[in-house]
Chains A and B, each alone.
Chain A
Amino acid sequence: MSQLIANALITAAIIALVAVGFQLIFQTARFFHFAHGVIITCGAYCAYWLTREGTPFTAALILSVLFCAALGSAIWVFTYRPLQARGAGPTILLLASLGSYIVIQNVISLWFGNDTKTIRQGVVHEGLEILGARITPVQALTMLTSAVLIVGLHFFLQKTRIGNAMRAVANDPELAMISGIDSNRVFIGTFAIGSALAGVAGILMALDIDMNPQMGMNALLMGVVAVIIGGVNSIPGVALGALLLGMAQNFGVWKISSQWQDAIAFIILLAFLLFRPQGFMGKKVKKATI
């Protein structure tokens, strides 16, 4: 039982990281940023490439996260912003992001090949026994990093000037501009932070269960489900959503065949869309007050 809880927490940690990054970008930019998935993959492959080239491990990880942040902002600056300047709506931006996803993923496939790659080398260690569950150091690191980053992001958005500016732009870009916020810089910052989180998620996934060029898409799908369950505007909600998903995926298949894992996630999604579309933390809208 404790192993199940541990597994659920590990799954949830990764989902939450992806979800929070996606949510941050979605909240501000208001369209489905598909390329977020490939940034996860980029984080993993960048770390893989750097360590193969002989970069010290920690430096490689930091550089990879920075690279992801730069890549995310670059996609905004060179793809979305010009399109938006020409009056493109969310649908066109969605297609553009899907295009970026496919292009970048194929570049990765071409360069590194389609098979799985491994960062770690040498012996496989048995997990440490913690409260009756086996957890490897990497998995412990995953949970810790995820928790720290999400709590950190929450306070960053609530307490700092830049965080307030980001929330202001998310709420109403025009009003924010009128009050003197440089929305362009806020957009770049948002994409950078969101993408850095995706990069961290990618690296942690790769350290735990290796990488292939398709890894980002599955992670993104689960992340977006968590965003919808948790409520589009609330970070604690998204964290809770990820936790619920992780629990459901791991406990749900306890008595049935494991191939139903993804189906369970989508059944939860459908249930939320039908009965509570505003998510965990969203407030119910009263028609009279609009």
Chain B
Amino acid sequence: MENRNLKGNRISRSLGSILILFAIGFSMAGCEQPFPARDEQTPAVKRSFLKKLLGAKKPSKPGLPDPLVLGAVLELTGPGAPYGQWSKKGLDLAVDDLKAKGVNVRLIIEDGQSDPKMAVAAYTKLATVDKVPVVITTTISGSVMACAPIAERNQVILFAPGSSSPEITKAGDYVFRNRISGIYETEKAAELAYKQLGITRMVMLLVNNDFGLSYGDAFQKIYEQAGGAIVAKDTFASGATDFRVQLTKLKALEYKGIFLVGQVAECGYVLKQAKELGIKTQWISTIGVENSKLIEIAGDAAEGLIYTAPRYELDDMGTSGFEQKYFERFQEHSNLYAANSYDALNLLVNAIRSAGYTGAGIKDALYKTKDYPGVSGLTTFDANGDVVKPVVLKMVKGGKFVSYEAAK
């Protein structure tokens, strides 16, 4: 027996050390994505590489090279995947439409895996190996912030059609986006909470990354200036599924509303588990929740959730026919992320046409853009490479995402 215990003793020590090693390894690897997906358009990489070997020079004077090679780092997997996939659909449509107009665009698409580390690796590869002057990225604000210094250093435009963190405004000269800064969304949310709903005490529940924390900071500032009080602020990990601890902590507090910022699946679980725990309050969130996955996960627990959204009305888009084309091809309705991405590629091609295939030239041309009539509305860049577009309030009612004004 003693012998056995000694064995057990040694074994649990070695078990423990193996365990700790793996815990560290897995947390470092993020253990998010087993598949570093490459896109089907990979041959473009080889071709551009071959060209380089043969010494072909890329034209730097105005005019469009053929093919026009551009890069993209999209969140095709991980918690940000829904947004990245929409973005890719928008870009696919734009590539086809441009081809019909005689512009042959080749997009080298890399998977950012919803992870800033992977996005940086992909961005660096596109900027230094493929030497593209433009990289389109999607939503993960942390990834955009991490890639911004590379964009500045290599004079490669970073165009983010879906990112909204207020931090990105000051990320650099080469960083552009045609999605509005989250500042405008949080302003609207704070105004809704304090003025329209008369909520004076709120709790914030935020995803622990650039997106959640920057929204939280901006909201707190505006809401407290208006006279409201933030009673508590708690965070959760990106990709988390169990929120009982956070929610149980909230149960002991006095408040009338919760400002929830996270990706769609996380928000879905928060709403579901809050209902199970008997928490009844006014939930306020952001455009990130507008995805059928929310209803799939939270079911009727999502009812009554109000969220802010950059204005995007399907019937307004009739003139451009974007919604129609999108629906025909993908059998789902278009949305802001797809429309912004579609516009982004068109804006960039216009800029390259007038200023040539260099990062610096495209940058200047983009700053000169005035009221570009895209499918997501009029686009004009300010001195920070940001745009201003209207924000609206929407809510979940009967399992659908509807206008708050009409539904309340």
Known: A221-B22, A285-B2. A259 touches B31 (CB 8 A): no
A residues within 8 A CB of B121? none
Contact of A266 among B6, B15, B20, B236 (CB under 8 A): B20
> B241 near A127 (CB under 8 angstroms)?
no
B18 contacts A94, CB within 8 Å?
Answer: yes
Count of residues in A whose CB is under 8 Å from the partner chain: 66
Residues of A within 8 A of B20 (CB): 266, 269-270
User: A197 in the interface, Cβ–Cβ < 8 Å?
Assistant: no
Contact A278 B9, beta carbon cutoff 8 Å: yes
CB-nearest residue of chain B to A209: B241
Is A232 a contact of B15 with CB atoms below 8 Å?
yes
Chain A residues with CB below 8 A from B276, complex form: 124-127, 134, 136
Q: Which residues of B contact A221 (CB under 8 A)?
A: 19, 22-23, 26
**Taking chain B's interface residues, is the majority helix, strand, or loop, or is none over half, making it mixed?**
helix
Q: A105-B34, A114-B33, A282-B8 are in contact. Are A212 and B241 (CB under 8 A)?
A: yes
Q: Is B78 an interface residue (CB 8 A)?
A: yes
Q: Are B5 and A278 in contact (CB under 8 A)?
A: yes
Q: Which residue of B lies closest to A107 (CB)?
A: B34
CA distance A159 to B77 in the complex (A): 50
Partner of A278, one of B8, B236, B249: B8
Say yes or no: is A195 at the interface (Cβ < 8 Å to chain B).
no
Residues of B within 8 A of A283 (CB): 1-2, 5
Q: Which residue of B lies closest to A225 (CB)?
A: B19
Contact residues of A between 1 and 37, Cβ < 8 Å to B: 3-4, 7, 10, 26, 30, 32
Task: Please encode chain A, from 277 to 290, with 1 for each CB lying within 8 Å of some chain B CB and 0 for all others.
Answer: 11100111110011
**Contact residues in A for B269 (Cβ distance below 8 Å):** 209-210
Report yes or no: B246 in contact with A258, Cβ–Cβ below 8 A. yes
Q: Does A123 contact B (CB under 8 A)?
A: yes
Closest residue of A by beta carbon distance from B280: A126
Contacts of A72 in B (CB 8 A): none
Residues on A with C-beta less than 8 A from B66 are none
Question: Interface with A: B140-148, B149-157, B296-304, which one?
Answer: B296-304
Contact of A129 among B235, B278, B300 (CB under 8 A): B278
Interface flag for A84 (CB, 8 Å): no
Q: For the complex formed, measure the closest distance between the CB of B13 and the CB atoms of chain A, giving whole angstroms.
A: 5
Is residue B275 contacting chain A, with contact meaning CB distance below 8 A? yes
Of A171, A228, A254, A279, the residue contacting B249 (CB under 8 A) is: A254
Chain B contacts for A269, CB-based, 8 A: 16, 19-20
Please judge, given known A-B contacts A217-B26, A227-B15, A257-B234, whether A290 and B251 are in contact too, CB under 8 Å.
no
Q: Which residues of B contact A177 (CB under 8 A)?
A: none
Could you say which residues of chain A place their CB within 8 Å of the CB of B31?
Answer: 214, 217
The answer to the question of A261 belonging to the interface, with a C-beta cut-off of 8 Å to chain B, is: yes
How far, in whole Å, are A217 and B23 apart by their CA atoms in the complex? Answer: 9
Smallest Cβ distance from A193 to chain B, in angstroms?
20
Q: Which residue of B lies closest to A210 (CB)?
A: B241
- Contact assessment for B19 and A224 in the assembled complex, using a CB-CB cutoff below 8 Å: yes
Nearest CB in chain B: distance from A176 CB, A: 13
Q: Is A273's beta carbon under 8 Å from chain B?
A: yes
- Min CB distance A253 to B, Å, is 6
Name the A residues within 8 Å of B77 (CB-CB).
114
Task: Tell me which residues across on chain A come within 8 A of B78, comparing CB atoms.
Answer: 114
The verdict on B128 contacting chain A, using a C-beta distance below 8 Å, is no
Contact in complex: A134, B277 (CB < 8 Å): yes
**For A194, what are the chain B residues with a Cβ–Cβ distance below 8 Å?**
none
The verdict on A257 contacting B235 (CB below 8 Å), with A126-B276, A277-B13 known, is yes
Cβ of A122 within 8 Å of any chain B Cβ, yes or no, is yes
Q: Report the Cα distance A250→B248, complex, angstroms.
A: 9
- Evaluate contact between A231 and B12: CB separation under 8 angstroms: yes
In whole angstroms, what is the CA distance A116 to B31 when docked?
15
B330 at the interface (CB under 8 A from A): no
Contact B5 A282 (CB under 8 A): yes
Q: Is B265's beta carbon under 8 Å from chain A?
A: yes
Q: Which residues of A contact B265 (CB under 8 A)?
A: 115-116
> Would you give the shortest CB distance from A13 to chain B, in whole angstroms?
13
Is A233 positioned at the interface, with any CB of B under 8 Å from its CB? yes
| Residues of B221-238 whose CB lies within 8 A of A | 234-237
With A32-B18, A209-B241 already in contact, the answer to whether A285 and B26 are too (CB < 8 A) is no
Query: Smallest CB-CB separation from B3: which chain A residue?
Result: A290
Complex contacts, B4 vs chain A, CB 8 Å: 171, 233
Tell me the complex Cα distance, A7–B246, Å.
11
Residues on A with C-beta less than 8 A from B278 are 126-127, 129, 134
Separation of A115 and B18 alpha carbons in the complex (Å): 29
Q: Would you give the shortest CB distance from A90 to chain B, in whole angstroms?
A: 9
B299, A277: Cβ atoms under 8 Å?
Answer: no
Which of chain B's residues has its CB closest to A90's CB?
Answer: B14
Interface contact A250-B16, CB-CB below 8 Å: no
A184, CB-defined interface residue at 8 Å: no
Chain B residues near A79 (CB-CB < 8 A): none
> Other than the known A258-B246, A283-B1, what 14 A-B pairs have Cβ atoms closer than 8 Å?
A3-B251, A116-B297, A123-B299, A209-B242, A209-B269, A214-B32, A227-B15, A228-B16, A232-B12, A258-B235, A258-B245, A269-B20, A282-B8, A283-B2
Chain B positions within 8 Å of A, measured between CB atoms, are: 1-6, 8-9, 11-13, 15-16, 18-20, 22-23, 26, 31-35, 77-78, 81-82, 208, 234-237, 241-242, 244-246, 248-249, 251, 265, 269, 272-273, 275-278, 293, 296-301
25 examples of A-B residue contacts, CB within 8 angstroms: A32-B15, A102-B34, A115-B265, A126-B276, A134-B278, A209-B269, A214-B32, A217-B26, A228-B12, A228-B15, A232-B12, A249-B245, A250-B248, A257-B234, A257-B235, A258-B235, A259-B236, A261-B245, A273-B12, A278-B12, A279-B12, A282-B9, A282-B12, A285-B5, A290-B6
